[in-house]
Every structure is written in structure tokens, then in C-alpha cells.
Amino acid sequence: MKVLIKNSEALVFPDAAGRIADHITCHQTATLGLATGGTMTPVYQELARRHREEALSFAGITTFNLDEYVGLSPDHPKSYRKDMNDRFFAHIDIDPQRTHLPAGDAPDPEAEAKAYERRIDAAGGIDLQLLGIGINGHIGFNEPSSSLGSSTRIKRLAPSTIEANRRFFERDEAMPTHAITVGIQTIMRADMIILLATGERKANAVAAMIEGPVSALCPASALQFHPNTTVILDPAAASKLALKDFYLAIHPRGEDQDLL
Ligand code: GLP
């Protein structure tokens, strides 16, 4: 894993957006794996700004999001589909037909999960996967105890995830308890992965992901087996890494030039 520790939180998002922009400039028909969560908002804002002001085009790009809440229709105000449309897709020139999320309101969610995995395969797999991380080490909605060999399926949300995501729902609104999520093996098949984490509340999960044993207790630790993963952190998210000084010696200020 390449571990980049930026000098501040504000430097994390333009770095990630710049990598995505460079990739789609070179590969205009790339397939991107996209994530939801608050961490992604500034990344999508920066990509939309580059589209507006610098003519960055998404016209040939295909996207697959990681997950969707079971039971929420695409136009439900709290669905990830609506969130992605409002926050990102509406602000760029992507063809809506080429943006994919699992259908949370599918009559047979298990069948929808299997069909979603097939749709990713039929598109030739994910070239670049963007990831956040949950405070319990989840990626997508692969909660602790997920099989590290899993493909797209239904997962029950952990109580800490329901608590963490409650802020996106109304005060008295019932939170979904299950999600359709791509699996850990689905994520591992991506050619390139960029994972972002900021803030102290992610520090334990980040340390377990990068330095802990590979374990279903921290699903993101499976990424230790991925050959092309870059993790971009702010100082707070990096604060519990035992080898922090080593990562900073290799990549001073979190800049991406190898000083081997
Ligand atoms: C959700 C998503 C994850 C995301 C995580 C962290 O549970 N399913 O893909 O990484 O939340 O979200 P945030 O960036 O809001 O901390």
C-alpha cells in the first residue's frame, strides 16, 4: 500500500480528485467505482469544478457505486442513487445510462445483488475504485465478519454504522438495516484503488487496515493484498499508525514521489 499523509485535511480531496481527473483524461472510456459518505463530497465538488472550469469530460465514463440501502427506491430522498445524482452526476456531462447503483427496491434483492456483480463483469470490471472507510473498518458496506472472498450480496448493517449514518436521515426516520453491497473480492479485482480517510474517528480503523493483521474484523485490511492501492490521509486519521514517520520519510508531506 502506498500511504500518503498530507499536511492537512484540505489537501486530501484535491489530491484524490486530481488522480481521478488524470485517469479519465488518459482513459476516456474508463470504468470508475464510486463511493458515498461525507468524505467524498469535496472530491465530487472538485471534479465538478474541473468539469465546469477546465472542460474535464465524463462523457465516455461508466460508473458503478459500491452500495445501496435495501428498501429505498432510487428516488427516495435518502437513497444513495438520489445522493449521487444530486451531489455529482447532475453537475457533470456523464451519460445517466452509464451510472450504476444496485436497485434498493428490487423485489428480489438477492437476485439484484447477483445481477449487479454480473453487470460489473460485463463492463469489463472496475479500472479505478474510490473508497472511504467506516469507523469499524468497513469498505462499501462489508461489515466486520464479512468474507474477504465475498461478491455482491445483502449485508446487515452494524449498529455502529447505523449510528454513524443516522446524521444523513431525519431525526425520527427509521434507518435501513440492510444494504446491497459489492463484495470484498469485487473491490479487490479493481486495477487501482484510492482510499481516503480524514479525522481522528477514523484513526483506529486506518491503523488496523494498514498495519493490523489481515482479518475479517477489519474488512479493509484485505487491501493489504491489493497490488495497487493508494491511501490518502490527513494527520488525524494517520495519528495511530506505528510506522507514520517511515511513511512520511518515503513520501514527505504525503507527496507521491518514491524516495526508495
Ligand atoms: C458508508 C459507506 C462507505 C463509506 C463510509 C464512510 O457507510 N457505505 O462506503 O466509506 O460510510 O462514510 P463517511 O465518509 O461519511 O465517514
pLDDT tens-place string over residues 180-236: 999 999 999 999 999 999 999 999 999 999 999 999 999 999 999 999 999 999 999
Domain presence at residue 53 = yes
As annotated, the active-site residues are: 67, 136, 138, 143
Cell numbers for 246:
517511515
Question: Given pLDDT bands bounded at 50, 70 and 90, which one contains residue 150?
Answer: very high
Alpha-carbon distance 147 to 121, whole Å? 20
Distance 260 CA to ligand 1 centre (A): 33
User: What CATH code is carried by the domain that includes residue 84?
Assistant: 3.40.50.1360
Under 8 Å between Cβ of 124 and 90: no
Q: Is the pLDDT of residue 260 over 80?
A: no
pLDDT computed for residue 257 by the predictor: 76
Name the residue at shortest CA distance from atom 11 of ligand 1.
37
pLDDT mean over 227-249: 98
DSSP designation for 4:
E
Distance 259 CA to ligand 1 centre (A): 32
pLDDT computed for residue 168 by the predictor: 87
Ligand 1 contact, 161 CB (< 6 A): yes
pLDDT computed for residue 104 by the predictor: 97
Cell numbers for 32:
470508475
pLDDT computed for residue 136 by the predictor: 96
Alpha-carbon distance 6 to 199, whole Å? 12
Number of domains in the chain: 1
Domain presence at residue 211 = no
Domain presence at residue 249 = no
| Average pLDDT of the chain to the nearest whole number | 96
Q: Is the pLDDT of residue 70 over 70?
A: yes
Under 8 Å between Cβ of 163 and 225: no
Ligand 1 contact, 134 CB (< 6 A): yes
Domain presence at residue 243 = no
> Domain containing 133: what range?
10-194
| Residue 149: burial class (beta carbons within 10 Å; 0-12, 13-18, 19+) | exposed
pLDDT tens-place string over residues 22-55: 999 999 999 999 999 999 999 999 999 999 999 9
Domain presence at residue 74 = yes
Domain presence at residue 154 = yes
pLDDT mean over 138-148: 97
pLDDT tens-place string over residues 102-116: 999 999 999 999 999
Q: Is the pLDDT of residue 259 over 90?
A: no
pLDDT mean over 151-171: 92
Domain presence at residue 54 = yes
Distance 36 CA to ligand 1 centre (A): 6
Backbone angles phi, psi at 212, to 5 degrees: -75, 175
Domain presence at residue 214 = no
